[in-house]
Structure 1
Amino acid sequence: MAAQVERLDSNNAGRLHSLSQTPQQQHNHVKQDKEVIVVDFDGPNDPQKPSNFPRWRRIAITILVLWSTLAVLSSGSIFVAAHEAIAEEFSIDESNFAHTYWPVTTWALGAAFFAIFVLPLMEEFGVYYAFLGSWLVMIIFTIPQAVARNFATIVVTRFFVGGSVAIIGNCACSLIVSLWSEKPKICSALIGQWIVCYLVGNSIGPVIGAAIFHYLSWRWTFYMQIIYYSIMFPFIAVILQETRAEAILRSKARGMRKQGIPAYTKAELNPISLTSYVLKSAQRPLVMLCTEFVVTISTIWSAFLFGNIYLFTQSSEQVFISLYGWTVTETGYLLAAVVAGEVVGIIGPIANDYFYFRSAKNNPENPGQPLPESRLYTATVGGLLGVTGGMFVYAWTSYSSLSWVGPAVGLAMVGFGATLVVNAIANYVVDAYSNYAASAVAAIAFGENIFIAFLPFAAGPMYTRLGFQWASTLLAFVSLILSVFPFVVIRYGKGIRQMSPFMEASVPPH
């Protein structure tokens, strides 16, 4: 989600220096009689500006990238319903440890690494090529998984698939922001829908995989991805268009230079090495993760929710196979309950926008400016009633004497609550940090993927030693503690912002 506002970080950098330090003076050494032109859009109505693209194209790109987000994120756990068949083929002993979860772990680690260290390259190459390039890499590295002759091949190649998915997902969000930035309410609503697609994509993998594995071998969970992604690629190449302002202006400047006009973008006037840029981009999220209270707690809470969604792929097998005699494939279908809850949770982003824009009328600090803390109202409901309540329901209806519907309802409640909480956190962090929003969101995304990678490994030991009821209850209590966060920020939001140098630097003028 870091690309949602990464332009804010780059704008904050203040990259204009003395022209005596720029490379174009050497380039134009024999053209000293010509004045250097700084390229920009030709006014607010410039047709090259993404927000001025034809409406039909903006809508088409938006639909395409929302669907792409859902499609590629499902790759994270699409094979888990077939893990027993994979273990059998490669002689993997899972009696004491869930070794077949390692491909999910490397997928998530790839997403974490690429989001921090590779995503900044989008600044240099633009959204269009980053999206298409990542899509091709994803297809290429899925092929070895489908034809793998050993388990290590799957584990290693999944790292690059996860990394590509992280780039595609973040590019999708960046595209939406660029296309609709001139219409804040529409943009905010679409970002809410993107977050729903992001969550549903992470949850729906086992459901799709179960349907495929029900009729075909486990390898087809990968073959189907290759076929589907390959069919989508030409549509993406044709419909998608570059929306990153810096990339568009750089292309314009190059065209002018070919005509002998010394034109450059602001970034070209003060170039920095790619290595320095990537390291600087990676450093700030990690610093904020360790020093900013809001970023730290937001990361832990959001990461805990994503980790739980993947933990359900492990715990649901133990619960429903042991209590109700279900098969592994049937437990994959069961996770549709989480997806259903997330889809219903679409009301969260709608309510979130309502409270946010309405708060501008009663803002004592900056009249007419919405309060960032108003973004967290829906998180109070999602955290307490949705996630915490759902975990308690999942825990204390897990008895063989009760219907399987009870735990399924608990899973749906968690999905519903997760949508409200993740949407609220993402929007609050973006509004509160403003100039440093990309770094804050990158830190949260990094934490989410680390929890996805490792938290589910605790499911087996925890549900075995504590029992189904108390294992889920422990998770419910953790959720209950984290649910206090929005109440604290809503009550003391102004003071928290004043104590944060990053937030203070982002406060709009009075």
Structure 2
Amino acid sequence: MSASPRDEDPEAQNVIASKKSEAGVLSDEAPSAGTQNPKKDVEIVDWDGPNDPENPFNWSATKKWLITGMALLGTLTVCINGTAMTVAAEQINEEFGVSDATFPNSYWPVTSWSVGGALFLMVGLPLMEDFGVRRGFLATYIAFVLFIIPQALAKNFATLIVTRFFSGGCVSILANTVCSMVCDMFDGEERRTVPVGLYIWLYLVGQSIGPVIGGAIIRHLHWRWIFYIQLICYGASFPFFFVLIRETRGPVILRSRAKAIRKKSGKQAYTREELNAPPLLPTLFLSVKRPFHMLFTEWVIFSFTLWSAFSFGTILVFTQSVEQVFVSLYGWRSYSAGYVQGAVVIGECLGWLATLYQKRLYIGSASRNTKQPGTPIPEARLYMSIVGSFTGMAGGMFVYAWTSYPSMPWIAPAIGLTMVGFGICTVVTAVADYVTDAYARYGGSAVAAVAFGENMFAAFLPLSAHSMYSALGFQWASTLLACLALMLSFAPVMLMIWGETFRQRSPFMKLAAYS
């Protein structure tokens, strides 16, 4: 969902202006700025009118949804790689001599996976915007599959940690590619709402369902089969991705058209983007710098990052706490405890249905907007998330906490997990929608900041779960998480009350409003 810095930041335009006289045109084939009258014989390549059939906005609905559907399938399947191995901790520890007695050392491969996702995301998506999503997706997918091979054949624990860092980085790029594709093909926010909502839902489901699938595998097979089966499935899926994933970036399609004209006729044919492209390194620097700047200077971004990151990190917390609770209280095997994560998936499915209703509430708010009549109010994005945060995240945690007794049936804490899953989906979706809407052309950087926080929380928050649940007990450990969720739930409430004031005080939001 990251936007290209050159399109959204005046600072990027300054870089372009300052570098043009020094570096000229970036393309290796484009005419140099030092040439006399460089644009005299240049033919500008653009779309053949508003109905150009090669423009992704003009593709048929069937073609758009076929490409989107394949990208969504990729989002769901690659995310399973992140958490499927968590249920195999006992087998992995035994084979590699790793101990969880005083610290959950078996979780380091998942931590490295999440850290890789946080770091790769900042650089990978901007590069794909320049070089094309099809080539970027396929190249990243191949690298992802190659990094799973040493995970399946690992001879030591360090190999798992290192290779998981790179596979997590690949997953973050692959899973987020769908957002770029949706923005390239679906014109208008209303048309994008459903595919973007599906992307967030499947991203969460892929993370949550990993332990369920991993549990089913280790019940009958060795832990290495978690990765062998992934290799089989990912390898079998590649031909479909290769055939059905098409290039959706308009500028990349136009560059290919211009290159074909040059090759065929010898004309100096270039796109406007090629003639005005800023240097790559300053562009990447801006794409990384701005999200961090916004994270620590924008109250909305900072508070919403904590809110969304805590919600997202809770999914990974459950990969640790659920096993502790259900193995200790009910005597289940670790693989059976993995099945309980299905309750979180059910909750996320209910949460997705709530986000569809949220869309109606958001569109309906346009009739109440007195400042900009006919335009939906950005804070109307948050209605269902407030319900989901208070009753789902906080309420579900309290239920999970105080039904964790041997005398209570296992379904009782599972219901709490379902409530939390509902809350997670509504919160993460609302945050992504709100910051994209409120920050407009800065929305890509805002979402990147939030995504970075989500991945870092997912990396390190679960490391505390083992000691927290052991030291405080099941009830009070979950109660602590519930209280944190309750406090963070007031962030959207404050925005509902003072949202307009925050928007007026934020330089990014003010510039976005008048852009």
TM-score category (smaller protein): over 0.9
The residue number in structure 2 matching 1:52 is 58
Matched, 1:231 2:236: yes
Letter in 1 for 2:461: L
Report which stretch shifted further, 340-349 or 39-48: 39-48
SS class of match (1:505) = helix
SS class of match (2:427) = helix
Matched, 1:344 2:360: no
Q: For the Cα contact (< 8 Å) 1:9–1:439, is it kept in 2?
A: no
Letter in 1 for 2:475: Q
The residue number in structure 2 matching 1:85 is 91
Report which stretch shifted further, 435-444 or 168-177: 168-177
SS class of match (1:45) = coil
Letter in 2 for 1:60: L
> Where does 1:353-432 land on structure 2 (aligned, <5 Å)?
353-432=359-438
Output the CA distance in 1 between the equivalents of 2:143 and 2:407. 49
CA shift, 1:263, in A, is 2.6
> Where does 1:201-280 land on structure 2 (aligned, <5 Å)?
201-258=206-263, 259-280=265-286
The residue number in structure 1 matching 2:200 is 195
Matched, 1:459 2:465: yes
Matched, 1:185 2:182: no
Letter in 1 for 2:127: L
Letter in 2 for 1:216: L
SS class of match (1:26) = coil
The residue number in structure 2 matching 1:36 is 42
Output the CA distance in 2 between the equivalents of 1:41 and 1:504. 32
Counterparts in 2 of 1:371 and 1:7: CA distance versus 1, 3 Å? farther
Letter in 2 for 1:10: D
Q: For the Cα contact (< 8 Å) 1:307–1:448, is it kept in 2?
A: yes
The residue number in structure 2 matching 1:137 is 143
Render the CA deviation track for 1:127-166: whole Å, top value 9, x for unaligned: 1111111110110000001011111111100011101101
Q: For the Cα contact (< 8 Å) 1:9–1:435, is it kept in 2?
A: no
Counterparts in 2 of 1:489 and 1:223: CA distance versus 1, 3 Å? same
SS class of match (1:108) = helix
CA shift, 1:32, in A, is 6.3
Letter in 1 for 2:397: M
CA shift, 1:108, in A, is 0.4
Q: For the Cα contact (< 8 Å) 2:6–2:283, is it kept in 1?
A: no
| Identity over aligned pairs, percent | 47
Q: For the Cα contact (< 8 Å) 1:340–1:415, is it kept in 2?
A: yes
Output the CA distance in 1 between the equivalents of 2:473 and 2:276. 60
Q: For the Cα contact (< 8 Å) 1:57–1:239, is it kept in 2?
A: no
Counterparts in 2 of 1:409 and 1:33: CA distance versus 1, 3 Å? closer
SS class of match (2:217) = helix
CA shift, 1:35, in A, is 3.7
Q: For the Cα contact (< 8 Å) 1:341–1:415, is it kept in 2?
A: yes
Q: For the Cα contact (< 8 Å) 2:389–2:486, is it kept in 1?
A: yes
Letter in 2 for 1:189: V
The residue number in structure 1 matching 2:329 is 323
Output the CA distance in 1 between the equivalents of 2:181 and 2:43. 28
Output the CA distance in 1 between the equivalents of 2:329 and 2:95. 27
Output the CA distance in 2 between the equivalents of 1:95 and 1:32. 69
Choose which of 118, 125, 144 in structure 2 pairs with 1:119.
125
Output the CA distance in 2 between the equivalents of 1:389 and 1:36. 64
Output the CA distance in 2 between the equivalents of 1:377 and 1:39. 45
Output the CA distance in 2 between the equivalents of 1:447 and 1:124. 25
CA shift, 1:54, in A, is 2.6
Render the CA deviation track for 1:89-147: whole Å, top value 9, x for unaligned: 11112211111111101100110010112322112211111111111011000000101
Matched, 1:68 2:74: yes
CA shift, 1:271, in A, is 3.3
> Where does 1:125-164 land on structure 2 (aligned, <5 Å)?
125-164=131-170
SS class of match (1:263) = strand
Q: For the Cα contact (< 8 Å) 2:4–2:126, is it kept in 1?
A: no
Output the CA distance in 2 between the equivalents of 1:139 and 1:477. 40
The residue number in structure 2 matching 1:10 is 7
CA shift, 1:46, in A, is 1.2
The residue number in structure 2 matching 1:497 is 503
Q: For the Cα contact (< 8 Å) 1:193–1:349, is it kept in 2?
A: no
Output the CA distance in 1 between the equivalents of 2:360 and 2:75. 25
Counterparts in 2 of 1:8 and 1:342: CA distance versus 1, 3 Å? farther
CA shift, 1:275, in A, is 2.1
Q: Any stretches of 5+ residues in structure 1 without a counterpart?
A: none
Matched, 1:485 2:491: yes
Counterparts in 2 of 1:175 and 1:322: CA distance versus 1, 3 Å? same
Q: For the Cα contact (< 8 Å) 1:81–1:210, is it kept in 2?
A: yes
Q: For the Cα contact (< 8 Å) 1:433–1:503, is it kept in 2?
A: yes
CA shift, 1:312, in A, is 0.6
Render the CA deviation track for 1:435-475: whole Å, top value 9, x for unaligned: 11111100111011101111001111111111111111111
Q: For the Cα contact (< 8 Å) 1:436–1:506, is it kept in 2?
A: yes
RMSD: 1.9
The residue number in structure 1 matching 2:105 is 99
CA shift, 1:10, in A, is 2.6
CA shift, 1:253, in A, is 2.1
CA shift, 1:81, in A, is 1.0
Q: For the Cα contact (< 8 Å) 1:17–1:269, is it kept in 2?
A: no
CA shift, 1:344, in A, is 1.4
Q: For the Cα contact (< 8 Å) 1:348–1:423, is it kept in 2?
A: no
Output the CA distance in 2 between the equivalents of 1:471 and 1:35. 71
Counterparts in 2 of 1:49 and 1:469: CA distance versus 1, 3 Å? same
Output the CA distance in 2 between the equivalents of 1:163 and 1:444. 16
Letter in 1 for 2:71: V
Q: For the Cα contact (< 8 Å) 2:134–2:245, is it kept in 1?
A: yes
Letter in 1 for 2:203: Y
Q: Any stretches of 5+ residues in structure 2 without a counterpart?
A: none
CA shift, 1:260, in A, is 2.6
Counterparts in 2 of 1:274 and 1:363: CA distance versus 1, 3 Å? same
Report which stretch shifted further, 46-55 or 101-110: 46-55
CA shift, 1:31, in A, is 8.2
Choose which of 298, 311, 321 in structure 2 pairs with 1:292.
298
SS class of match (2:84) = coil
Output the CA distance in 2 between the equivalents of 1:9 and 1:195. 26
